[in-house]
Structure 1
Amino acid sequence: MLTLHTWTTPNGRKVPIMLEELGLPYTIKTVNLKENEQFQPAFLALSPNNKIPAIEDTDENGKRFSIFESGAILTYLAEKTGKLLPISGPERYKVLEWLHWQIGGLGPMLGQVGFFTRSEEKSGLAIKHFVDEADRLLTVMDKQLSQHDYIAGAAYSIADIACYPWAVGVLDKLKPALGDKLDSKPHLQRWLKRIGERPAVQRGMALPRI
């Protein structure tokens, strides 16, 4: 059985969504970031970058191994099951393209918007920079979704799973910072509704239960 080490952050909810979509049996071990449990030696042995999520699994020889970084975990689980990531061809690389776009752009920039807008020490320059960049990325996403049902094309994939917890967090926590910028992105709004209605996404977003 898979063991998932995670917490209640956008990155931490990607893998529960994936596991719920796949129907794989798994257990959750919470890593309480507020209590700095990510720095405990047992967790660092799984995730040397002291970031959640991480998983443990067993290979065909019965050997236990671990994987950290959400993008690597999503790719591993997709390849393990043959689902939510095309096996080969251009469609596969479109999914990986948008998966890495989220990891390298959308997530970090929205994270910076959250940090600087909630910080006690306000920096107008930093807030404007990261809000503008977040808006640019969300505009890129809206344009892509104006042409496709899902973020990487016609099919739901790990790219959607990676993007959703971050994008929905914009509506939840960052809307005051972004203001009416979200209202001008109807295709993004449509996608959020469609993804949010998936039962596996709803279950995954509710995890881990604290």
Structure 2
Amino acid sequence: MRRMWTPDTGRTSTSQDNAVHVVAVSNSGIDMDWHSVAALDDFFVNEHYRQVDAMDAILELYGSQTGNCTRSAIALEEAGLPYTVRLVDLPGGEHRRAGHLALNPAGKVPVLVEHRPGKPDFVLTQSNAIMLFAAERVPGRLLPHTERARATAYERFFFFLTDVIGPAHASFFLQNQGIADGAARLIERMITTLETADLYVETDEYMAGDAFSIADIAAFTIAASVETQVAWARLPNLRRWYEMVGSRPSVVRGQRAFDLS
């Protein structure tokens, strides 16, 4: 039995034929030889078993009310992946205790743990890795399918990570070290860089095009942390995008994931 792919519908069907030689797609004008069909056949079979295997997974997200944890929660929400929140008491030092250090020796949050029957637990300890995990678990939901669109999503995603979120984390460190002036300068630079993203959404609905992606999650969570400091009045495109993303049900749920009061 073979699995047949219909490009104009995106659906698969099955055939009892031992071999499939040619698939002609009249709507798109594409002729696919049997080598292409065999490759697609293998793809869909592997994808089917990957998704079935993933359905047995139980996800636990350890964290607290921080930007990194919120990004992870929003990604899981947007991907439609069920998970259980495990609140880590940071003020109480729970992240420095043996139980949490067994998951992440660095004593940081978030931590994602995936449990599957008969398999060792899988642990991820970086928020950006968790976001990419969610994006790849449900293809097309948080990253575009096409190569160029996906490349743009990565470009914008890393822009916010390195040029906006990175300086914000450095500012937090300097503030804790008593270097208030240096911290303030970094925040000022971070906000200035964030505001340049107004150009990204001048003609596109989202940060990386016409579809929501991991770039929007990274951008929204850092923008929310400095919401009162952004000059929204002179950034109509960014303000429109910010309000739209902030109203998404999955984003709202992700923001509240660690608010267990």
What band does the TM-score fall into relative to the shorter chain?
0.7 to 0.9
Q: Does 1:159 align with 2:159?
A: no
- The amino acid of 1:161's aligned partner reads I
- Which one of the candidate residues 89, 92, 98 is aligned to 1:32? 89
CA shift for structure 1 position 92: 1.3
- Which one of the candidate residues 117, 130, 143 is aligned to 2:199? 143
Question: 1:106-157, CA deviations, whole angstroms, 9 ceiling, x for partnerless residues?
Answer: 22323455666x7795643x25521331132112211212232111122101
- The amino acid of 2:224's aligned partner reads V
Aligned length: 202
Counterpart for residue 201 of structure 1: 251
CA–CA distance in 2 between the matches of 1:145 and 1:58? 39
CA shift for structure 1 position 170: 1.0
Distance 1:22 1:183, change over 3 A: same
Q: Does 1:102 align with 2:152?
A: no
Which aligned runs of 4 or more in structure 1 are off by greater than 6 angstroms? none
CA shift for structure 1 position 102: 2.3
Structure 2 gaps, min length 5: 1-57
- The amino acid of 2:77's aligned partner reads E
- Which one of the candidate residues 13, 16, 26 is aligned to 2:73? 16
CA–CA distance in 1 between the matches of 2:169 and 2:69? 13
CA–CA distance in 2 between the matches of 1:59 and 1:96? 29
Counterpart for residue 43 of structure 1: 100
- Which one of the candidate residues 185, 203, 209 is aligned to 1:129? 185
CA–CA distance in 1 between the matches of 2:177 and 2:143? 42
The range that moved more, 156-165 or 37-46, is 37-46
- The amino acid of 1:45's aligned partner reads A
Q: Does 1:2 align with 2:59?
A: yes
Distance 1:48 1:121, change over 3 A: closer
Structure 1 gaps, min length 5: none
Answer yes or no: is the 8 Å Cα contact 1:6–1:29 preserved in 2. yes
Greater share of strand: 2
Answer yes or no: is the 8 Å Cα contact 1:110–1:170 preserved in 2. no
Answer yes or no: is the 8 Å Cα contact 1:7–1:208 preserved in 2. yes
Q: Which has the larger radius of gyration?
A: 2
The range that moved more, 137-146 or 187-196, is 137-146
Answer yes or no: is the 8 Å Cα contact 1:20–1:201 preserved in 2. yes
What TM-score do you get using the length of structure 1 for normalisation? Answer: 0.84
- The amino acid of 2:94's aligned partner reads E
- The amino acid of 1:110's aligned partner reads A
- The amino acid of 2:191's aligned partner reads D
What TM-score do you get using the length of structure 2 for normalisation? Answer: 0.69
| 1:83-94 matched pairs, under 5 angstroms | 83-94=141-152
CA–CA distance in 2 between the matches of 1:183 and 1:113? 25
Distance 1:45 1:191, change over 3 A: same
RMSD, aligned CA: 2.5
Question: 1:149-202, CA deviations, whole angstroms, 9 ceiling, x for partnerless residues?
Answer: 11112210111112212211211xxx3xx4x74432222111110001111111
Question: Which of structures 1 and 2 has the larger relative contact order (alpha carbons within 8 angstroms, sep 6+)?
Answer: 1
Answer yes or no: is the 8 Å Cα contact 1:113–1:130 preserved in 2. yes
- Which one of the candidate residues 129, 144, 169 is aligned to 1:72? 129
